Structure 1
Amino acid sequence: MHTIVSFLTAAILTVLMTASNPAWAHFGAVIPSDDIVTKDDPKTLRLQVKFIHPMEMHYMEMLKPRQFAVVHGGKKTDLLDSLQASKGKSPDQTEASTFWTADFEIRRPGDYTFYTEPAPYWEPAEDRFIVHYTKVCVNALGLEEGWDRPVGLETEIVPLTRPYGLWTGNVFTGQVLLKGKPVPFAEVEIEYLNESPGNRHAVVPPADPYVTQVVKADAGGFFTYAMPRAGWWGFSALTKADWTLKQDGQEKEVEIGAVYWVHTFDMK
């Protein structure tokens, strides 16, 4: 009898602990130092490539990506060798985790879509791997051309809203693709990057559902969301890969994410 009671007590405690500590949403991130480069701006971008919980500013250890590149004028340029390891952590983390930085010099006008394919991340709490294909677009020197074109990743978000020059309160509309085809009724998670430059006061969510916003795409894979605060916003559409990876000799599922980042600015 004592054994049964002990077992039930442990089970109840496990449920309560799980309920009080919900899983945070993971986001791949590619954050440039500027999203619009004018003739008067510095022409060298600093890009940060991370795997984080954006609202909580919680860093996860990130191995060197498998791909890091930019598309400009329909041409892809490999930037993998430009990545340098760095360390970061949230105020409540005791140990810093690895993220990556790179410098990129703007030489010509147009839209620059930076993207990354990370090394698979093993998440023991979910018993699966995570791979987030992440994109961001930077406009340079007034030529607005290329932002609405897919890159050709296994899964990706293609913007229908021009993804720069956005005021706070504007909406962002995108289409979720998997192997180049729309994903009907895809679930899209949205988070604010609490460490956005210029964000003087970190957002303190009043309850857990405020941390990660969720919208559903329509039958064509299209979704829309209005951004209520200035800074960087991440959009992540998750699907299950049709391939697996081995962990400790066992085949495990892989969550693949199509992630896109946009920046909003307060109208003054």
Structure 2
Amino acid sequence: MSQKFLASLSSALLLALSASAAHAHFQLVYTPEVNLDKPKNIPVKLIFWHPMENGHAMDMEQPEQFFYVFKGEKVDLSKALKPISFAGKDNRAKAFEAEVNIRRNGDYLFVLQPAPYYEKSEDTYIQQITKSYVNKGGIPSGWEKPVGLPVEIVPLNKPTNVLVGSTFSGQVLMEGKPAAGVEIEIEYLAAPPDVKANRPSSKKSASAKGGALVAITDANGVFTFGIPKEGFWGFAALGAGPQKEYKGKALSQDAVIWIRADKME
């Protein structure tokens, strides 16, 4: 293992540890269905939440960007956004929703760049640049391609049909280059949102002994996680983005990706 990699790993771990107290915050870009077999208008919910513990929700401000990429074409969705109130476990928080028309076969890469969130308890900001995926017709058309974000996780497995018991791998890119030694926090969506009521669909929560589930990227920016349960899984590359400061305070600019895991029929 090279000294350069070890130095990168050490510095990334220090940055992640400084931001970790403010995490378990996970930005959602949620669609109930990720595999469509016919044209459909689908609801998309943008929620900043603690989804694994089905806990506290955080206020979102107007997003900086919200769009999808389809076969290399970027489609702006910002004008389709409507503000909503999402009911977390013990509070209500500002969130957003949109209805998106899916017609053509292929992969739709949804991308949200939210406004930085101020975490008062840590006196820092968090910005989780988030990707999620919808496919129509079972036709692959670019799910494995980077979008060109300041920081992002590029899936190395098709993110809309990962099988329970298999693994998911992703590569963290910072300004297009592999990011080594990045802490990846792993989250499970215990109670998917009720898209009509704008609240969790149940009181279910999940936890793991020993605290947060964590992986570390290797020298090529790659991490791998075994998928133990069906449902939605989120992965956040903590502090991996190039921007480290916002309004004179520390900023953890994170990359988030959501995937869907299913049992083999």
**Shorter-chain TM-score tier:** 0.7 to 0.9
> Which blocks of at least 5 consecutive residues in structure 1 are unaligned?
1-21
Give deviations 1:87-115, integer Å, cap 9, x for gaps.
Answer: 12233x1x310111111111211100000
> 2:33 aligned with 1:34, yes or no?
yes
| Match in the other structure for 1:244 | 245
Q: Of residues 40, 43, 49 in structure 2, which corresponds to 1:43?
A: 40
Q: Of residues 119, 125, 145 in structure 1, which corresponds to 2:121?
A: 125
CA contact 1:86–1:99 (8 Å) conserved in 2: yes
Q: Of residues 58, 61, 68 in structure 1, which corresponds to 2:59?
A: 61
> 2:40 aligned with 1:75, yes or no?
no
| Match in the other structure for 1:202 | 204
> 2:183 aligned with 1:187, yes or no?
yes
TM-score with structure 2 length normalisation? 0.84
CA contact 1:185–1:220 (8 Å) conserved in 2: no
Distance 2:53 2:153 in 1: 24
Alignment of 1:83-162 (within 5 A): 83-91=81-89, 93=90, 95-162=91-158
CA contact 1:197–1:231 (8 Å) conserved in 2: no
CA contact 1:192–1:232 (8 Å) conserved in 2: yes
CA contact 2:67–2:74 (8 Å) conserved in 1: yes
Shift of 1:23: 5.1
CA contact 1:129–1:245 (8 Å) conserved in 2: yes
| Match in the other structure for 1:52 | 49
Shift of 1:154: 0.5
| Match in the other structure for 1:11 | none
SS in 2 for 1:148: coil
Q: CA RMSD in A?
A: 2.0
SS in 1 for 2:228: coil
Amino acid at match of 1:83: L
Give deviations 1:114-162, integer Å, cap 9, x for gaps.
Answer: 0010011111222211111000111111221110011111100001111
> Which blocks of at least 5 consecutive residues in structure 2 are unaligned?
1-20, 195-200
Between structure 1 and structure 2, the one with the greater Rg is 1
Distance 1:200 1:87, change over 3 A: closer
SS in 2 for 1:254: strand
Distance 2:94 2:225 in 1: 31
TM-score with structure 1 length normalisation? 0.83
Identity of aligned residues (%): 39
Distance 1:197 1:170, change over 3 A: farther
